[in-house]
Amino acid sequence: MRLGIVSDIHCNAEALDIAIERMGNVDELLCAGDAIFQFRFSNDVVSRLRELGARMVLGNHEDVVLGPLGDRVRAHHTTDPELLKWLSEQPRRIDTEIGGKKFTMFHACPDEPPYEYVYSDSPRIKEFAETGADYVVYGHTHYELLHRVNSTLIINPGSTGQPRNPSNGFRVSYAILDTQSGEVTFDIFDDPLRPGIRST
> What's the pLDDT at 200?
32
> What's the pLDDT at 199?
41
> What's the pLDDT at 197?
57
**What stretches in the chain show pLDDT beneath 70?**
196-200
Burial of 4-37, coded b for 16+ CB within 10 Å and e otherwise, reads bbbbbbbbbbebbebbbeebeebebbbbbbbbbb
Q: Is the pTM of this model over 0.75?
A: yes
pLDDT tens-place string over residues 10-22: 999 999 999 999 9
Domains and CATH numbers, the chain: 2-189 (3.60.21.10)
> What's the pLDDT at 133?
98
> What's the pLDDT at 89?
98
In angstroms, rounded to a whole number, what is the distance separating the alpha carbons of residues 189 and 186? 10
> Looking at this protein, which amino acid is placed at residue 31?
C
pLDDT tens-place string over residues 98-110: 999 999 999 999 9
- Which residues in the chain belong to E strands, given as ranges? 2-6, 28-31, 55-56, 93-98, 101-106, 135-137, 144-149, 152-157, 172-178, 184-189
